[in-house]
Chain A
Amino acid sequence: MAALKRPGAEAIVAKGWFAAHKWLIVRRVSQAGVLALFLLGPLAGVWIVKGNLNFSYTLNVLPLTDPYVLLQSLAGGATPEGKALIGAAIVLVFYFLVGGRVYCSWVCPVNLVTDVAHWLRRRLGIGRTVRIPRKLRYYALAATLALAAATGTVAWELVNPVSMVHRGLIFGIGAAWAVVLAVFLFDLLFAERGWCGHVCPVGAFYSVVALKSPLRVTAARRADCNDCMDCYAVCPEMHVIKPALKGAARGVGPVILSPNCTNCGRCIDVCSKDVFRFGLRYDNRVTESAGRMPAGAVAACSDRA
């Protein structure tokens, strides 16, 4: 699957460059914006946000806690106090509503690294990939919690690339750059979408938060799909698309229900037929009648049986 064709090329022709990159741009602005807010204090002395992704205090009123770190802290035997607990509750409610892995594609600094690795991987035509089960991350998630309980420390935080990078950017990088490099090389050379798509327990945690999230991407106009496969090419969790996009024949609704979907919206961008859009998980009726099914869709479904 070398990069013979740039995914999204058709969409650029059909919709124009800007429309074919809309969500990507908004998402990058969000990632950069979050980072900028955190950096404004240490670099410019403007203290809107203090702290880092583990816990931050905005304008001295809004506490935000990473619930996953707090969970490890609890597992380690600590009894956190009010501000940390309130912050975790706010974050949990927010990510439940917008989709847990919005954290991954809209906030997490490592996503920038792994996205670049993936882009370069396609550019260089690196096809070899180590097969890692996508479920590995849930085992990793369970292991980090077990480890916290066993060692009585927030053990995962000793090596967690996510917090290490973010803390490093704000408080001084130290040797954390080596961890970034390791993640980058892992994704570039060993496994496609290796870290974020298979290993990272932080992403796994936010997948769990997303299990019943209302905001989802939906392949609402899947009947228009022309099988260009561009959405698969750009999706960091490509296994989430097929059930929704090709599920009409089996009576599966068009909403991407997999909690692994990061709500990055890139599939919306690159689809020249505007099949995808953001929607609610409840809006998941199968509207197509079997007779109107395009031939391609049926073929794509039947190859799974």
Chain B
Amino acid sequence: MNDAPKTAPAPAPDSAARRQFVLDAAKMACGIGFAAGGLALYAKQSKALPPDALRPPGALAETAFQSACIRCGLCVRDCPYKTLDLAKPESNVATGTPYFNARTVPCEMCEDIPCVKACPTGALEHSLTDIRKAKMGLAVIVDQETCLNYLGMRCDVCHRVCPLIDKAITLDPEHNTRTGKHTRFIPVVHSEHCTGCGKCEKACVLEEAAIKVLPFALAKGALGKHYRLGWKEKERSGESLVPADTPHQYNLPEGYRYELGGRGLVRDEPALSTLPPAPGTAKGAR
């Protein structure tokens, strides 16, 4: 009979059995509590998406995404370019969730967005129907010291491969102060249009890309909410919001006066040789 099943002691009316039962329950609760605590810490860490991992188009904000995505991999399956992958347990992306690495395989911005269509849960928002509205991340020139265009050459590769060329990324001409006679074409990314597809990062000709797609929150600065850009406000209302220049009366360097609405800061004649040069007029003063 030594083979008989060992059943857990049921809460019998006698106190010894009851004590055993309570003890068992307490032990289990403790054990589980320990394990759960460990898992909670791990879960908290996994909530931070590493900066080189990007979510598929339409993905909810990272925290919402991690509760919504059920790790089925249908988005991975329906991506025709094999861009996406499900995170393996050893990777630092939350186990089983879809991600891609732009430098390995970028998103090709499919017109019909099959990955989003495949998602059964809405972790990839089905309201995203125009791939140009996707916000997987934001491209940033992370290194001006090595970007060939910054160095004054005409690489332009990131600009040329961008699916939203001249919108998401433009080449802004600028005087090359090193040579003194050339123009540098500075790649500038515009957050309003960049989808974070990563084609620029993939295409960057350097050993290590000088342009990288980063999570939006990492890549984007933000003005204080109370900031107003005067020239924008002027454009909007058709006139300056502040009254015309107030006269500068105070703290003018000796021998200077201010011409309101006219030439601005002007030096009284005749010039006194002991006067410091007027700000911004260094050459003229010498």
Contacts and interface: CB of A to CB of B under 8 A. Distances in A.
Q: Do A and B come from one complex?
A: yes
B102 interface: no
B117 to A, nearest CB: 11
Contact of A139 (B28, B74, B90, B94): B28
A120 interface: no
B53 interface: no
B31 A239 contact: no
A133 B9 CA distance: 9
A238 B7 CA distance: 9
A171 interface: yes
A52 B73 contact: yes
Contact of A155 (B24, B29, B39, B76): B39
B63 A152 contact: yes
Interface in B24-40: 24-25, 27-29, 31-33, 35-36, 39-40
A56 B24 CA distance: 39
B5 A158 contact: no
A165 B95 CA distance: 12
B104 interface: no
B7 A242 contact: yes
A45 to B, nearest CB: 12
A150 interface: yes
Interface string A108-150: 0000000000000000000000010111100110011011101
A156 interface: yes
Q: How big is the B interface, by class? A: 35 or more
A139 B67 contact: no
A57 B120 contact: yes
A69 to B, nearest CB: 5
Contact of A78 (B1, B31, B68): B68
Interface string B232-263: 00000000000000000000000000000000
Interface residues of A, number: 69
Given A51-B74, A164-B89, A241-B5, A140 B40 contact: no
B121 A163 contact: no
A229 B67 contact: no
A54 to B, nearest CB: 5
Interface string A160-175: 0001100110111111
B67 A73 contact: yes
Contact of A135 (B3, B28, B74, B88): B28
Interface string A55-71: 11100000101100110
B39 A232 contact: no
Interface of A: 1, 41, 47, 50-52, 54-57, 63, 65-66, 69-70, 73, 76-81, 83-84, 87, 131, 133-136, 139-140, 143-144, 146-148, 150-159, 163-164, 167-168, 170-176, 178-179, 229, 232-233, 238-239, 241-242, 300, 303
Given A51-B74, A52-B72, A80-B70, 13 more contacts: A66-B70, A69-B70, A73-B68, A80-B121, A139-B28, A143-B33, A157-B95, A158-B43, A164-B89, A168-B88, A172-B88, A175-B88, A238-B5
**Which 7 residue pairs spanning A and B have beta carbons closest together?**
A174-B88, A76-B67, A55-B72, A78-B68, A175-B90, A155-B43, A83-B120
Interface of B: 1-8, 24-25, 27-29, 31-33, 35-36, 39-40, 42-44, 46-47, 63-64, 66-74, 76-78, 85-86, 88-91, 94-96, 118, 120-123, 126
